[in-house]
Amino acid sequence: MKPSSLNSDPSSVTQDAFVQQRLRRFWGLTFFSLGILWGFGGLVYIPVAVLTSLRGGSVAEVILIVSGGVLVFPASILALYRRRPASILLLLGGILLLGIAAALPWLPFAQTFGAANRLLTLSSGMVATALGLFGVITEARGWTQLR
């Protein structure tokens, strides 16, 4: 049996397109829901962990992590309704946060204490950038709206 004869039934083609559309919507909702959870964690849990860690944390680290939460949490919610502006916001904001996090050790007023705190400051920008890239790519490829 030829592979082309397997897809000759028109109902199977429409069913395949329907399944593909549902999978795209599932993955979009999954990634941006994880972004909502990450943003909420950046707003609530992670600054407390930085401030109470054994080595402590600088105010600049906490501000950077909270900025990541402030960026990712509402932008991920916005992405469920308007993916393009939210993705551009996440991408540009994530690149800005990554640049600040990369420059943090060289700023005189902001010292990073420990590898865990350094990883948290970098991940606040990396998560936003990854979500922004995902949104821009899926928007360019014509994925369906999530809501």
Give the pLDDT score at 54.
47
Give the three-state DSSP class for 32: helix
Rounded distance, CA 116 to CA 5, Å? 56
List, for residues 2-46, the tens digit of each pLDDT value: 455 455 555 666 888 889 999 999 999 999 999 999 999 888 877
Residue 17 located in a structural domain: no
Q: Number of folded domains in the chain?
A: 1
1 lies in a domain?
no
Which among 116, 118, 125, 126 has a CA at the least distance from the CA of 67? 125
The kind and range of the H/E element at 18 are: helix 10-43
Residue 5 lies in a domain: no
CB 90 within 8 A of CB 79: yes
Tell me which residue range forms the domain holding 81.
29-140
Per the domain annotation, does 13 fall within a domain? no
Q: Is residue 58 part of a domain?
A: yes
pLDDT in tens, 45-104: 776 766 666 456 677 777 888 889 999 999 999 999 999 999 999 999 999 999 988 887
In 3D space, the residue among 42, 36, 69 whose CA is nearest the CA of residue 146 turns out to be: 36
Q: Which of the 8 DSSP states describes residue 106?
A: G
Whether residue 147 lies inside any domain: the answer is: no
In a domain, 7, yes or no: no
Rounded Cα gap, residues 31 and 23, in angstroms: 12
Q: What count of other Cβ atoms lies within 10 Å of the Cβ of residue 66?
A: 17
Helix (H, G, I), strand (E, B) or coil at 116: helix
Q: Which two tokens stand for residue 87?
A: 């993705």
Does residue 38 sit within a domain? yes
Distance CA 104, CA 121 (A): 9
